[in-house]
Structure 1
Amino acid sequence: MLNGIDGRITPTLLHCLARMGHGDDLVIADANFAADSTARHCVVDRPIPLAGLDAVQAIDVITGLLPLDGFGDFAALRMEIDGDAQEMGEVHHQAWAVLRPRLPEGGQLTNCPRPRFYDHAKTAFAVVQTAETRPFGCFILKKGVVF
């Protein structure tokens, strides 16, 4: 254990977050996401498990350490619900409630269709697999800079 580090952050996740640079993406995957096959394309080629946390809890603990990006197209994006890009499920509302106060100036919250999300996820630095069971409970966080 370390002082000031939330005990829910695993050593593997802490190492991953420290290795990431500005602009790198981190996938927060729900329990149904193809984490293993997606992670094979990432810098960290195995999913990082956070089995005891849902997506919102994972986002909360991760963004307590990881600064979000304010310069790119998004600071965080969510997987769209199929057939309705504007509809947001409970998991999306809860995640945005955690993320909004942590956005830097210029930081954007956005969404993308499920097939495009899968493609984008393959270019990420790493995939964090959560125990999230709510549909479409997948997100990508873009690492910002520490000022």
Structure 2
Amino acid sequence: MLKGIDQRLSAEIVHILMLMGHGDDLVICDVNHPAATIAAETTYGRLVDMAGCDIPTAAAAILTLMPLDSFVPAPVARMQVVGNPEGQVPIFARTQATVDRAEGRPVPIRALERFDFYAEAKRAFAIIRTADSGPYGCFILKKGVVNLPEL
């Protein structure tokens, strides 16, 4: 363990976050998402599990280390409810509250049709599967810039 790093973040997750650059995408999903299949096509190339966490808990832990991109209109994407693009499920509001709290501001979240979400997820850097039972617990977080002091 290290000081200041959420204990739910494994060494592999911290490694992935360190490898990612500005504009790279990270998928956080529930257990129903075809994560292993899609993860094979990501930059990282394999699925990472974050067992014991629901989506908001996983996102909150990840966002302690990873800023969201402030250069795009909506740095978070979610899957639309199939057959009801305007539909809402509880995980949407819970995740919205989590990302708003982490960023200290309202964060726009865009909705993607199911197969558009899958296509975008395949272009992500990595996929982290949580123990969240869903449904529709599928989110893409775009990494922002970390402002560091000069060396």
* 1:67 and 2:39 are equivalent in the alignment: no
Specify the alignment match of 2:24 in structure 1.
24
The alignment's TM-score, normalised by the length of structure 2, stands at 0.91
Unmatched segments (≥5 aa) in structure 1: none
* 1:119 and 2:100 are equivalent in the alignment: no
Matches within 5 A, 1:1-147: 1-103=1-103, 108-147=108-147
Residue 25 of structure 2 contacts residue 142 of structure 2 at CA under 8 Å; is this kept in 1? Answer: yes
Query: Percent identity at matched positions?
Result: 39
Query: Aligned to 1:119, what secondary structure does the other structure show?
Result: helix
Shift in Å, 1:145: 0.5
Count of residues in correspondence between the two structures? 147
Shift in Å, 1:86: 2.0
Shift in Å, 1:87: 1.8
Query: Aligned to 1:118, what secondary structure does the other structure show?
Result: helix
Shift in Å, 1:74: 2.2
**Bigger radius of gyration among the two:** 2
Separation in 2 of the partners of 1:121 and 1:134?
17
Shift in Å, 1:101: 3.1
Unmatched segments (≥5 aa) in structure 2: none
Change beyond 3 A, Cα 1:84–1:64 = same
Measured on the aligned residues, the alpha-carbon RMSD in Å equals: 1.6
Query: Aligned to 1:139, what secondary structure does the other structure show?
Result: strand
Report the residue type matching 2:7 in the other structure. G
Separation in 2 of the partners of 1:110 and 1:119?
15
Query: Aligned to 1:13, what secondary structure does the other structure show?
Result: helix
Residue 96 of structure 2 contacts residue 107 of structure 2 at CA under 8 Å; is this kept in 1? Answer: no
